[in-house]
Structure 1
Amino acid sequence: MENTKKIKTRDEIEPKYKWAIDKIYSNESLWEEDFSKLKELTPKLSHYEGKLSDGKELFNFLKLDEEISRLAEKLHIYAHCRADEDTANTKYQALWNKIVSFIPQINAEKSFFLPEILAMDEKHLLKEIENIPELKIYSFAINDILNLKPHTLSKGEERILAAVSDSLEAPANIFNILSNADMTFPKIKDESGIEVELSDKNYSIYITSKDRRVREDAFKTLFSTYEKFKNTFATSLTSSMKAFIFNSQMRKYSSSLESSLKPNNIPLEVYYKTIETINNNLSALHRYVKIKKQLLGLEEIHMYDLYVPIINTPDIEVSYEDGVKLIEKGLNPLGEDYLKIFKGGIKEGWVDVYENKCKRGGAYSTGSYDTMPYILLNYHNKINDVSTLAHEMGHSIHSYYSNKTQPYIYSNYTLFCAEVASITNECILIDYLIKNEQDKLKKLYYINNELEQIRTTVFRQVMFAEFEMITQGELEKGTPLTSEELCNIWHDLNVKYFGPEMIVDKEIDMEWARIPHFYYNFYVYQYATGFAAANSFSERILKGEEGALENYISFLKSGGSDYPINLLKKAGVDMTTSKPMEDTINRFNELLDMLEETIS
């Protein structure tokens, strides 16, 4: 017991390893002063109701809205970060609850804005923007609102939709309660023969076990438990999809897919092209399955063999300081200015490095227009922690560039672009690690890591996207879907994606039931498109293509100043074509070649 490594308290962590949140507010009294100011300003928003047809009044409203939004975000980031660094600190939890509870009031005070803009004569509004120079900066944002006019309802109808929103979200809430709270799983025996209780949370430990008996038991136990609730899960999922369809029909979209993509001006062709390109190149995934089967020495490869590493994971210890240096070397192709920002972020206190007692788990990048782009880590001196830091730094430097270059209204980038910068960092770093590693085992580990990332982020997510397209399409045609039909669709997709070498066990037919993203309405495809765009950027930069780095940095600076497809296209990555996805598949095959060469 004396040798047990204790988790440090927050006070025991050295200041140099903590984020500099005090640069937002040096004490809580200053936070409270700004919160009082926010409460005083917010009611003033409603003073502009009915006056927005006057260009000067519209400009004054937008400036006040910006002031209030920036202040609220600053207060939010401070409270959020403080609450996460020590979740047991009731003082910071109180601050967090205070600002979170107040945000709906801000939204209520300005709820008149969109209906009033949309009810206005469009020619008059555009003329006001043209005549008042200060309003011109808002031109794209206002035109974006006007583009959705055909899908915006009357005040009464909007009020009805708002009133039933809780009911429409009920299927997702039922799924969360059922899967996270009410379901329990039988015990299985671990590698040592000791009985352990299986759960959705620890499943990943056992499905990656080197002991095939353990992973088979975990696989069959998990999905046989889901199978007992198949009708409830089927009703929950199809009800959620019907709610998406209802909303899209009420807002006069041609389909629920269009209602998901059109607000960001993403052509439906991008979704269809992504699925089509992967379907045309499934031979690469089939090759991966065949090689994995050979490397694992299996006569038959089953679905429960998919996640086991093909090599023993090397114990690669990397201190935080060494991890920072490694990233600096790896990201050198991104240029001097990018590295200067990276080093500055490390030095200035962007990063909260180590785990401490009651600190929130995981990792993320957060921040606002008037704060640093902070990063929460739980660094444990592993090579994966280095990759996580590079990933989150990608987000933070993207935010840094956007905030420094764009006016506030265009500083936020969309979800479609959000993962591009973080994954570009990962792609460039892993390329460096693979090329510069002399140890065979470590090199295999890095190659396998990138293969797995493409398999899970691209192939797997596109399979999810195809499932959504099929199921929602059937429901939109009025075809009811039972649990049996959902299982059949899922089974057939697994057969198609994993190819002739894979034994598609019947238990996998229930996997659709445990995917929370299916309740987010055509969300998952963006993981695949984000990776493809990032891979395209990283390849062009690493090859030293003329203008590639400059175009990429311009993309990072663009924030939300245009629609995501346009921003990427300007930077040289056209997501309306199959090329970015094909380039990703080419990288996948290239990695498979490396794998075979390194092992032989």
Structure 2
Amino acid sequence: MNTYQSRAEIPENEKWNMEDIYPSLETWEEDYRRIEEMTMKFKQYDGAIHDGTSLYLYLSEKEEVSSTFNLVYVYGMLQADVDTRDIAAQSLVDRAKQLAVKLNAATSFFMPYLLSLEEHTLREFIEQEPRLDYFEQDLFEAYRYKEHVLSKEKEEILSHLGEALSAPSQTYNMLNNADIKFGEVTTDDGDKVELTRGMYSKLIEDDDRNKRQEAYKSYYQPYLQLKNSLASTLAANIKTNVTLARLRNYPSALEKGLFGDMVPKEVYENLIAATKANIAPLHRYTTIRKEKLAVEELRQYDLNVPLVNGVKIEISYDDAYETILEALTPLGEEYVNTLKTFKEARYIDVRETPGKRSGAYNLGVYGVHPFVLLNQHDDLDSMFTMIHEFGHAMHSWYSSSHQPRISAGYSIFVAEVASTVNEVLLINYLLNKETNEAIRKHLLNHFIDQFRGTFYTQVMFAEFEKITHELAESGKPLNVAVFNQTYESLFRQYNGDEVVFDDEVKYGWSRIPHFYRPFYVYKYATGFASAIHIAEKLLAGDQATLKAYLDFLKSGSSDYPLELLKKTGVDLTTPEPINNALKRFDQLVTEFSSI
């Protein structure tokens, strides 16, 4: 693997071409000034929208400015991400953020105004001005919230309380990211060093069980020390969600959380029920893990170590790209040929360099193209990361190519479908091609553990959220003891009786930042199950599913997520997609145990 000390060493075709957004800083500055001028102009619309024409003029100018602002912000963000030490790039981001504050302030009058209109008045405006057809769906989507919007005075009070209401989340973030100090671990040289999150993710997969145990105990140490403070922040966050749901006339906090995607609570409940009805294969895998590791007692710190020793798959970026293109042939020529062009067109920033943002992402920029950030390590994990992000990138490309700007974006609910379909196609391709049994077993182990983490664990988290919010809604106390008892019980139900509990297990709730973004994690599981369902049909050569899936990728946000998925044959209002995915997990575990 190449190790680069600066971006100057990296070949041009492995770096983003930022000129695709702006050919020069001068053109960026021109757009920046234009947005500032337009922002001032928006104030003249406050109190002056009285008919369809004035409504259309405001909305069309707002869309144009928002679109330009997106380019201004993204240009700075992408440059800052490739080198977080770059002061000039960070300055562009800071200036864009300041501009966003001005833009939001200048347009904040509009939503209260819109929701003050009677529905028949809005319909009259649309009849008067045919050009409003373009905005109709978004206008009535905002209208859908009308019964959950309070009086102007109450909304103003809530807006002033915004910072206070977000305090539990902010406090947790500060504790979890800034203040927490993990315990020490022993290096290979015998020195003691303070554990970091990055070190933990590696050590918890180490072959040496003593290293895993030491890392596990050190990692949980601050969470146990801060247990009462962390329970207080989580309880406050849950109670805030419950209170806001009541104030805004939602039947429950869960239904408030699902409202934006128009997902009925039955989908959430079906997910949990179907998963628990099909929990036996996960318990079987836990038993296999215990046998394979040859331990008398299976502990939580044994659940992430790979079960196949001595398999290290190295694959260069170029070879990985070719393998990915071959693996994705079930998606058809257009998909594969389009993705092939991304490489030379410099849509991908490939290499890890000092100061570059960690991880990977795709950012679809309407009117330009997708931008994919990688930190390539020329190994199997890197190839799976690539194909995952390419799934998002192709979703962005298809949606932007086939949708107008207003509906080109897609919701988080469907986002993980496109990335996971790609991963399933890759694992299937590699398994079909590979004859070395150790490597085949390693690939199966990789997929099973991904399935466990992205599906089962997220459903367990989703059930924890549901239970704790229902406790708050019924006036029951929320504290360390309640959180511990709830989490420990769920961990036992999902992972089975083979796991012997250390004291740390029951404090798992204290380290999950997603709990401060209520009713979000279930989307990982529904997206994963939907992708398994679709990929199985694609691999069987089902041409109707292929057409429906490509249409889904082209759909952006032109319909609600559940409706978009139904067109691919995935109906999440029934248990079928979840059951099919879990049947696949059962097959994977059976195959793994038979090799």
With normalisation by structure 2, the TM-score equals 0.97
Contact 1:175/1:233, CA 8 A, preserved across alignment: yes
Structure 2: which amino acid aligns with 1:446? Answer: L
Report what 2:92 is aligned to. 95
Report what 1:379 is aligned to. 376
Are 2:363 and 1:366 equivalent residues in the alignment?
yes
TM-superposition CA deviations, 1:262-297 (whole Å, max 9, x none): 122111111111111111111111011011111112
Contact 2:257/2:519, CA 8 A, preserved across alignment: yes
Structure 2: which amino acid aligns with 1:507? Answer: E
Deviant stretches of 4+, over 3 Å: 4-7, 190-194
1:141-156 aligned at under 5 Å gives the runs 141-156=138-153
Report what 1:557 is aligned to. 554
State the alpha-carbon separation in 2 of the partners of residues 579 and 483 from structure 1: 37
Report what 1:333 is aligned to. 330
State the alpha-carbon separation in 2 of the partners of residues 20 and 329 from structure 1: 26
Are 2:398 and 1:401 equivalent residues in the alignment?
yes
Q: How many Å apart are 1:493 and its aligned residue? A: 0.7
Are 2:478 and 1:481 equivalent residues in the alignment?
yes
Match of 2:297 among 300, 305, 326: 300
TM-superposition CA deviations, 1:529-551 (whole Å, max 9, x none): 11111111111111112400000
Match of 2:166 among 162, 166, 169: 169
1:67-466 aligned at under 5 Å gives the runs 67-190=64-187, 193-312=190-309, 314-466=311-463
- What is the DSSP-based 3-state SS (H/G/I as helix, E as strand, rest coil) of the residue aligned with 1:299? coil
Closer/same/farther in 2, CA of residues 474 and 334 from structure 1, 3 Å limit: same
CA RMSD of aligned residues (A): 1.6
State the alpha-carbon separation in 2 of the partners of residues 36 and 567 from structure 1: 39
Is the deviation greater in 313-322 or in 28-37? 313-322
Closer/same/farther in 2, CA of residues 53 and 415 from structure 1, 3 Å limit: farther
Q: Taking every aligned residue pair, what percent have the same amino acid on both sides?
A: 38
Closer/same/farther in 2, CA of residues 13 and 546 from structure 1, 3 Å limit: closer
Report what 2:517 is aligned to. 520
Is the deviation greater in 206-215 or in 547-556? 206-215
- What is the DSSP-based 3-state SS (H/G/I as helix, E as strand, rest coil) of the residue aligned with 1:292? helix
Q: How many Å apart are 1:195 and its aligned residue? A: 2.7
Q: Which runs of 5+ in 1 are unaligned?
A: none
State the alpha-carbon separation in 1 of the partners of residues 128 and 384 from structure 2: 50
Structure 2: which amino acid aligns with 1:452? Answer: D
Contact 1:140/1:562, CA 8 A, preserved across alignment: no
State the alpha-carbon separation in 2 of the partners of residues 53 and 457 from structure 1: 50
Give the length in aligned residue pairs.
Answer: 595
- What is the DSSP-based 3-state SS (H/G/I as helix, E as strand, rest coil) of the residue aligned with 1:209? coil
Closer/same/farther in 2, CA of residues 368 and 218 from structure 1, 3 Å limit: same
State the alpha-carbon separation in 2 of the partners of residues 159 and 368 from structure 1: 34
Report what 2:467 is aligned to. 470
Structure 2: which amino acid aligns with 1:147? Answer: R
Match of 1:589 among 583, 586, 592: 586
Is the deviation greater in 394-403 or in 306-315? 306-315
Q: How many Å apart are 1:139 and its aligned residue? A: 2.0
Closer/same/farther in 2, CA of residues 357 and 219 from structure 1, 3 Å limit: closer
Structure 2: which amino acid aligns with 1:9? Answer: S
- What is the DSSP-based 3-state SS (H/G/I as helix, E as strand, rest coil) of the residue aligned with 1:576? coil
Contact 1:190/1:214, CA 8 A, preserved across alignment: no
Report what 1:499 is aligned to. 496
Structure 2: which amino acid aligns with 1:45? Answer: F
Match of 1:57 among 54, 57, 60: 54
Are 2:45 and 1:48 equivalent residues in the alignment?
yes
With normalisation by structure 1, the TM-score equals 0.96
Match of 1:571 among 568, 573, 578: 568
Q: Which runs of 5+ in 2 are unaligned?
A: none
- What is the DSSP-based 3-state SS (H/G/I as helix, E as strand, rest coil) of the residue aligned with 2:376? coil
State the alpha-carbon separation in 1 of the partners of residues 590 and 491 from structure 2: 24
State the alpha-carbon separation in 2 of the partners of residues 517 and 92 from structure 1: 29
Q: How many Å apart are 1:313 and its aligned residue? A: 5.2
Is the deviation greater in 215-224 or in 4-13? 4-13
Q: How many Å apart are 1:53 and its aligned residue? A: 4.0
State the alpha-carbon separation in 2 of the partners of residues 83 and 458 from structure 1: 33
Closer/same/farther in 2, CA of residues 372 and 5 from structure 1, 3 Å limit: closer
Contact 1:31/1:75, CA 8 A, preserved across alignment: yes
Q: How many Å apart are 1:576 and its aligned residue? A: 1.0
Q: How many Å apart are 1:193 and its aligned residue? A: 4.4
TM-superposition CA deviations, 1:543-571 (whole Å, max 9, x none): 11240000000000110111111111122
- What is the DSSP-based 3-state SS (H/G/I as helix, E as strand, rest coil) of the residue aligned with 1:378? strand
